[in-house]
Amino acid sequence: MATANHALEAQLDFRFWAQPALAEYCPAQDGFRFVPFGEERTARSQPPRNDGDAEPTRVLIVEDHRVVAEGLAALINDQADMKVVGNVGSLADCVPAAIELNPEVVLLDFRLPDGSGPDAAAAIRSIRPAAKMIFLTREDTEAARFAAVQAGASAFLHKSRAAAEVLATIRDVARGKMLITPRTIATLLTKRRSIEAQLERLTPREKEVLRLMAAGLPSRSIAEEMGISYTTIRTHIRSLGNKLAVHSKLEAIVKARELGLIS
């Protein structure tokens, strides 16, 4: 008999979801204490026994990709200790859903068609301050993590993580655990200050040139797009190289993502 895990694998086509997590996500690398699944945590990762009185954790999903959202709902609803009370795909829909459904945990994507996951989290927390926020996303930049922390996230998971890890994270967060450590927050703040300092060094035109470089446009096309001379573009590119050590399309993409100029 197919389980909800199998349904999720089939619907999402994420080969990673079917793989067990073999080791704890290393806090020393980026500080996010994702739920480990070593032998020492096996018992705690299991759902609690249903004593007949405990209500399942109420989960709201905010995800605009319907296949992903439906797969998550199937996975969660197969658990005795949690249930999906709502499934919305936009910033506009998340607040009415939170008002009506009163979720305990909100599972959010980072990008929505009419806004961002952090915008949605902040809006939900303004009317449901007790709701816990978990970001489940493909975004993996310092800017994304910092925005999630600012929005009050309790956890931040990449969509490549195992399905069992998502469930364990929901359980931990529902119990009041903060899976983003103070050390992580301090590291993000330090990196954010560095990013802001780099942005302050750039002129508005240099930021636009960097964004267009990251989009793959050659110098002459950037000049046409911005309505300025090719010589001026070359001057801006040299300035970017001096300020940010950006000398190629690949370096421009990496730096533009780091600075939050592109998604």
Q: Where exactly are the structural domains of the chain?
A: 4-43+54-189, 202-258
CB 108 within 8 A of CB 125: no
The SS3 assignment for 229 reads coil
Q: What is the pLDDT of residues 179-209, one digit of tens each?
A: 887 787 777 787 778 777 888 888 999 989 9
Distance CA 197, CA 70 (A): 42
Q: What is the pLDDT of residues 161-177, one digit of tens each?
A: 889 999 999 999 999 99
Q: What is the pTM of this model?
A: 0.63
Question: Nearest CA to 237 among 225, 246, 226?
Answer: 246
CATH C-level class of 4-43+54-189: alpha beta
Q: What region, left, alpha or beta, does residue 53 occupy, with left being phi > 0 and alpha being psi -120 to 50 degrees?
A: alpha
Q: What is the pLDDT of residues 99-158, one digit of tens each?
A: 999 999 999 999 999 999 999 999 999 999 999 999 998 887 777 888 888 899 999 999
Looking at domain 202-258, its CATH architecture is Orthogonal Bundle (1.10)
Radius of gyration of the chain from its Cα atoms, rounded to whole angstroms: 21
Average per-residue pLDDT for the chain: 80
